[in-house]
Amino acid sequence: MNHKQLYYIISMITRSLNQMSLLKKMRVIVFFLLFFPLIVWGQGTTVSGKVVSSDKQALPGVTIVLKGTSTGTTSDIDGNFVLSGIPNDAVLIFSFVGMRTQEIAVGNREIIDVVMEEETIGLGEVVAIGYGTTKKSDLAGSVSSVSGKHFKDQPVKRIEDILQGRAPGVEVTNLSGMPGASVKVRVRGTTSINKSSEPLYIVDGIVASGLIGLNPSDIQSIEVLKDASATAIYGSRGANGVILVTTRRGTEGRMEITFETSIGVSRLMKRYDLLNAYEYATALNDIWGSSTIPDADLKAYENGTKGIDWQDIMTQTGISKDYKLSISGGNVRSRYLVSANVLDQDAITITTNLKRYSLRANIDSEVTPWLTMSAKLNAARMHVHNGSVNLMEAINYSPAMEMKNEETGVYNKDPYNAIGNNPYGTRMANYDDNYRYYLNANGTLLFKIIDGLTLSVQGGYNYAHNPSYSFTSKLVAPGAINGMRNRSQLSLFWQNTNNLTWQKTIGDHNITATAVWETSKSQSADLDVSGSNLRNEAVVGYWNIGNADTKSESNSYSDTSIASGIARVMYNFKGRYFLTGTFRADGSSKFQGNNKWGYFPSAAVAWDLAKESFMNNQDVFQQMKLRSSFGITGNQGIDAYSTLGMLSATSYGWGTSTDYVGYWGDSFATPDVRWEKTYQYDVGLDFSVLSGKMNLTFDWFRKQSKDLLFKKEVPMYNGGGSFWVNQGEVKNTGVEFSVTAYPLKSSEVIWETVFNASYVKNEVVDLAGEDFILDATYSNYGGSMQIMKPGYPLGSFYLYPWKGFDDEGANLYQKADGSLTTSPTAADQAIVGQGNPKWTFGWNNMVSWRNWSASIFINAATGFDRLNLTRYALTSMTGMYKFITLRDAYFKGWDYVENKADARYPSHTNSNTKYYGNSDMWLENASFLKLKNISIAYRIPKQVVKFADMQLSVSAQNLFTLTRYKGMDPEVYNAYSGLDMGAYPVPRTFTFDARLTF
């Protein structure tokens, strides 16, 4: 057979293949590959060529392997390669990180030039779905996926930041701009009233308590399971959505070393306009009496020799340094990835620092043809020094005061306004160190039993040790007692997952059936010692409890376990009709007797219209898939032993420093408590148009959480507190939309844009029969700030309607009957606004042109409010704050302004002025649009640098925020749903980054 004949046969086959179904195609290819060696027989030849990227840049380091052998090479600096002794029936595999792997038949060619294309979210892409993977095009449920390339140009320090604005239906809220601070993640709204609505995190198949301690650059992809069809496989823990993190693996080919270093510079974005020391002193004398600040001091405040700018003294420029190293490689049978990360981050407030060191090794090895082993090991150490700062106290502290007693070195308390300790003194004289050590080991044995049938046995072990040490000095306040504390929290978790999967194609029928038996247990042990009245405090710090005259100690242990059986069947016919059914049974130790077991079924159907024969004659839609699903998932997020009604412990000295331990019956046993259940419905549409240049996804969902794990309030006359019942219902309804498109895709320029929008309507349906429940109660700020009431969303504000001032400058509020009063009663509060956004948007743009690449990422949220209790405290004399510090509160206050119509704040001398933090005077629209990231990068090819490929980039995070919110940051809050009480703002950061690839 000559080359011409062969070419003819191949072209015949490919042509007829094009007309066949996927299944047929596969069979033909298998047949062809099996018999091809018999048909074709040729001499070994030398093949050479050049590998370039889609933008025509030479690609060095591309791995080229002769399929089925370990023979291979890599492309050189100019992208050229040469392979000799290649039979012309051979197939070459071209692979490169971040590029789509290509298999190219050599045929009779001697020169093969290859254009490597970047991996995109295409239909053929494989996504993790929990206990397995599937092609995105075969999904019947609703899953969002984010892969590494979407954030590669954003300096991510925290993994949740990757998800913010990038996955429709996932609302990520920064609760604080503090390094290492937590993030709120909600998948399709808040489902539980009293229990955690945090999603379940799974890292490489093993349940994780969070994503802290993971190196963001180790992430291959993150999948978010949203609808019940997808989440029911996680049963009792799936109701809040599931976030699957897959870490990178080594890739076949020569060793690749990447080193990346970046420096970030952060600053506070926005300050409050506060009274300066002189203005403050004048205001004090004006309102409290002219004897308050003596003349001599007043002069000193005026000429600036005295006085404190608290916002200035408490903040700094935060520098962060981030180093990443990764080494990967391997051959056909074994692959490895080793990576390391060192992060050293200073906060924008004084003395706080975060350090994270992490090391990962992922190894995959095909030991025998029927057994593949993979092992993943992650070790991390985190150290947070002085992890907190009291911003509320800082901005409420009097500017007109002396920092400390110079003779004794003792920091002064605020003589006029704030009751708490000096925030600067607290940070300078006290210190604390919080360490976290993580070791996550994860091993899988994958047995290929017979064709299509595999058994994977996976074991995971998470070790987390969290020692923390703190010291409080006697210098922190007059009369302060010094003290120390050492605490050690140990958490151990193991999980065993045995997964039997059968995958078979029979004719047009494709079946994947999975059965899983899983057990897991988590244990925690806590040891805590503290001492006060330390001798030689400067010497011993927190390291010598022997020097403490008074000591306290405690320890505790708890464990919880879950046993589960899981079954799933995924079926599709001709890639046209899809059916998925799952069932999970979970038994949890947290519940008693027959309530231990919960059962969670789900089903989904999908239909790809584009695959129908009547669609054959169009080339607009490559995919047009209708999806629908229903399922039940659960929530078991109560603490261990919380249904048992254990006694509460007390510690009292009877007036001495001796500790007498006591017990009393404070809680109630609730043996009837069981799983909370969420019923979820989803309808979705997936479009792929313009030859895959544009993919659109649309989803509608409804989540109804019933039998809520509900903390029913106990009347105070019964001692107060609460107990668990399964009552109540919350409903979330929403839509999600996302589009991925390439507005420009030429050989020179590629512009990829990803836009998504999510809408969630949350509604309380029932509250265990109660008419309403008050929430967010702060006695120092006026009482309850929020309410739960059927018909209204969770996180609804419950406030006194403020209606200006009366004739003497006292606040006027509207009573329930519409009349005005200076003294409202509890029944006059009204429901207004909500704390969780209705709409969230994300828009990511990535543009590359020759060696340049740029990205812009915008995040926005709207339809929500914040209760700005910070501004309330700055302008009101209430609770912990006896005076005012905001400039407007004085200069635009009733007492000061001449024309009373100009007054914006009430009279601070009128006894009838009642200050309520729970008044709509402090409710502000917090809708925002943030430029989360903008970056520009330039890649200097290896030809120029000689030793490596180099990419230099500069980027800015949170460059600007568009909002009408008057506080420091509309996104952050620190209590309940949207209460800003000195919440720590997200800083603006400029980052400079260099990446070398050897």
Partner 1 sequence: MKTTHKYTGVLLFMLLLLWMVSCNDFLTEDPKGRMATQTFFSERSDLDASLNALYFIVADAQYANHYTGTNFLAGDDITTHPASNKQSLREHDQFGVSDNNAWMPYLWEQRWKIIKAANFIINNAGRTPEASDEEIKSAIANASYWRAFAYFYLVTTWGPVPVMLEEEINYDAQLQSVEKIYELIIQDLKMAEENCPASYTKAPYARNGMNIAVSQGAVKATMAYVYMAMAGWPLNKGTEYYRLAAEKAKEVIDGVENGTYYYTLLDEYWKVYSWEFNDNNPEVLLGVYYNRDRKSNMSSACDFLQDMKQGGWGDTNGEIKFWKEFPEGPRKEATYFPKIMLSDGKLYDWWYDTDPPSRAVVAPVFMKTVEGAVRGTEFDYSNPSRISSSGEKQHQVIRLSQVYCWYAEAIGRSGQVNTKAIEVLNKVRNRADGKESNIYHSGMTPEELAEAAYNEHGWEIAGYYWGGLASRARDMFRMYRYKDHFEFRKENPLIEVAPGVFRKEGVPVTGAWDDGKMYIPYPYKDVILNPNLKQ
Please list, residue by residue across 503-515, b when 16 or more beta carbons sit within 10 angstroms of its beta carbon and e when fewer do. eeeeeeebebbbb
| Residues linked to residue 583 through DSSP beta bridges, in sequence order | 567, 601
What phi and psi values does residue 558 have, to the nearest 5 degrees?
A: -155, 155
Closest CB to partner 1 among residues 78, 528: 528
- Minimum distance of partner 1 from residue 655's CB (angstroms): 3
- Minimum distance of partner 1 from residue 984's CB (angstroms): 25
Return the closest-CA partner of residue 424 out of 473, 484, 353, 354.
473
Q: What is the DSSP string of 164-224?
A: TTTSTTEEEEES--STT--EEEEESS---SSS--PPEEEETTEEES-STT--GGGEEEEEE
Alpha helices in 817-959 (DSSP H): 869-875, 887-891, 942-945
The phi-psi region of residue 408 (left if phi > 0; otherwise alpha if psi is between -120 and 50; otherwise beta) is alpha
Closest CB to partner 1 among residues 723, 841: 723
- Minimum distance of partner 1 from residue 179's CB (angstroms): 32
H or E segment and range at residue 392: helix 391-396
Closest CB to partner 1 among residues 34, 450: 450
Closest CB to partner 1 among residues 289, 818: 289
- Minimum distance of partner 1 from residue 206's CB (angstroms): 16
Q: Residue 774 CA to chain centroid, in angstroms?
A: 29
Closest CB to partner 1 among residues 46, 555: 555
Q: What angle do CA 692, 698, 704 make, to 5 degrees?
A: 150
- Minimum distance of partner 1 from residue 801's CB (angstroms): 14
- Minimum distance of partner 1 from residue 640's CB (angstroms): 7
- Minimum distance of partner 1 from residue 826's CB (angstroms): 4
- Minimum distance of partner 1 from residue 107's CB (angstroms): 37
- Minimum distance of partner 1 from residue 661's CB (angstroms): 6
> What is d(CA 441, CA 316) in angstroms, rounded to the nearest whole number?
39
Closest CB to partner 1 among residues 164, 919: 919
CB count in 10 Å sphere of residue 643: 22
What are 203's two structure tokens? 């890292």
> What is d(CA 338, CA 325) in angstroms, rounded to the nearest whole number?
8
Closest CB to partner 1 among residues 591, 965: 591
Closest CB to partner 1 among residues 549, 902: 549
How do beta strands 820-821 and 811-814 pair?
Answer: antiparallel
| Residues linked to residue 880 through DSSP beta bridges, in sequence order | none
What are 801's two structure tokens? 């309607």
Q: Rounded to the nearest 10 degrees, what angle do helices 277-288 and 295-302 cross at?
A: 150
Closest CB to partner 1 among residues 401, 948: 401
How do beta strands 949-957 and 548-573 pair?
Answer: unpaired
Return the closest-CA partner of residue 956 out of 922, 930, 982.
930
Closest CB to partner 1 among residues 108, 558: 558
Place of tokens 């996680």: 234
Q: First and final CA of the chain: distance in angstroms? A: 45
| Residues linked to residue 820 through DSSP beta bridges, in sequence order | 814
CB count in 10 Å sphere of residue 420: 16
142 three-state secondary structure: coil
Q: How is residue 39 annotated by DSSP?
A: H
- Minimum distance of partner 1 from residue 342's CB (angstroms): 39
- Minimum distance of partner 1 from residue 676's CB (angstroms): 18
- Minimum distance of partner 1 from residue 462's CB (angstroms): 18
- Minimum distance of partner 1 from residue 786's CB (angstroms): 13
- Minimum distance of partner 1 from residue 662's CB (angstroms): 3
Closest CB to partner 1 among residues 397, 630: 397
Q: What is the CA radius of gyration of the chain?
A: 32
Closest CB to partner 1 among residues 16, 823: 823
User: Which residues in 507-547 belong to E strands, given as ranges?
Assistant: 509-534
Closest CB to partner 1 among residues 588, 695: 588
Closest CB to partner 1 among residues 37, 662: 662
Amino acid at 885: T
Alpha-carbon separation of residue 277 from 297, 414, 877, 923 (angstroms):
10, 13, 18, 28
